[in-house]
Chain A
Amino acid sequence: MVEEIINDLSVISPLLPIVVGVKKYKTLLWLYALAGLLFDITMLISDKNRNIPVNIDVIANTFLLIEFFLISTYFKGKILSNKIVFYVLFVFCFSIFVALLAIRSPLVLNNYGAAFFNLVYIGYSIAGFYFILKRQEVLFLGRSEFFWFCAAILLYFTGNFLIFLSDAYFQQTNAVLQMRVWVFHNILNIMFSIMIAVALLAKNE
Chain B
Amino acid sequence: MRVDLRALIIIVGISVMLLLALAIIFFVILYQRRIIAHQIELKKISAQKELELIQASIQSEEEERTRIASELHDDVAATLSSARLFLYKTKDAQYDENVVNQSKELLDQSIAKVRDISHKLQPATLQHLGLEQSLQSIMETINRSGTVAATFIARAPLPRTAENVELAAYRISQELVANMLKHSGATTIVAATDFDGGQLVINFTHDGKGMTQDMYEALIYKKGSTGLKNIVNRLKSVNGVIRFYLDADEGYKTELSIPLPA
Contacts and interface: CB of A to CB of B under 8 A. Distances in A.
Nearest to A140: B36
Contact of B3 (A155, A158, A174): A174
B32 A184 contact: no
Contacts of B29: 141
Contacts of A85: none
B28 A155 contact: no
A151 B22 CA distance: 8
B31 A155 contact: no
A42 interface: no
Interface in B11-60: 11, 13-14, 17-18, 20-22, 24-25, 28-29, 31-32, 35-36, 39
Interface string A158-172: 110111001001100
Contacts of A174: 3, 7
A101 B243 CA distance: 68
Given A133-B32, A169-B6, A163 B25 contact: no
A173 B25 contact: no
A170 B7 contact: yes
A129 interface: yes
B156 interface: no
Contacts of B11: 181
Contacts of B3: 173-174
B124 interface: no
A80 to B, nearest CB: 19
Interface residues of B, number: 21
Given A155-B25, A174-B7, A133 B31 contact: yes
A163 B25 CA distance: 21
B10 interface: yes
A177 interface: yes
A112 to B, nearest CB: 15
A158 B7 contact: no
A122 B20 CA distance: 11
A11 to B, nearest CB: 22
Contacts of A122: 21
Contacts of A132: 28, 32
Chain B contact residues: helix, strand, loop or mixed: helix
A150 to B, nearest CB: 8
Given A136-B35, A170-B7, A174-B3, A158 B28 contact: no
A132 B24 CA distance: 13
A158 B6 contact: no
A154 B36 contact: no
A126 B27 CA distance: 11
A162 B20 contact: no
B214 to A, nearest CB: 30
Nearest to A160: B14
Nearest to B7: A177
Nearest to B17: A158
A80 B4 CA distance: 43
Nearest to A130: B28
A133 B10 CA distance: 32
A139 interface: yes
B36 A151 contact: no
Given A139-B36, A174-B3, A162 B21 contact: no
Contact of B32 (A141, A154, A158, A173): A141
A138 to B, nearest CB: 8
Contacts of B20: 158
Interface of A: 122, 126, 129, 132-133, 136, 139-141, 147, 151, 154-155, 158-159, 161-163, 166, 169-170, 173-174, 177, 181, 184
Interface of B: 3, 6-7, 10-11, 13-14, 17-18, 20-22, 24-25, 28-29, 31-32, 35-36, 39
29 contacts: A126-B24, A129-B25, A132-B28, A132-B32, A133-B28, A136-B35, A139-B32, A139-B39, A141-B32, A151-B25, A154-B21, A154-B24, A154-B25, A155-B18, A155-B21, A158-B17, A158-B21, A161-B17, A162-B13, A162-B14, A163-B14, A169-B6, A169-B10, A173-B7, A174-B3, A174-B7, A177-B7, A181-B14, A184-B14
Pick the 8 closest A-B CB pairs, nearest first: A158-B21, A162-B14, A166-B10, A158-B17, A154-B21, A129-B28, A173-B3, A162-B13
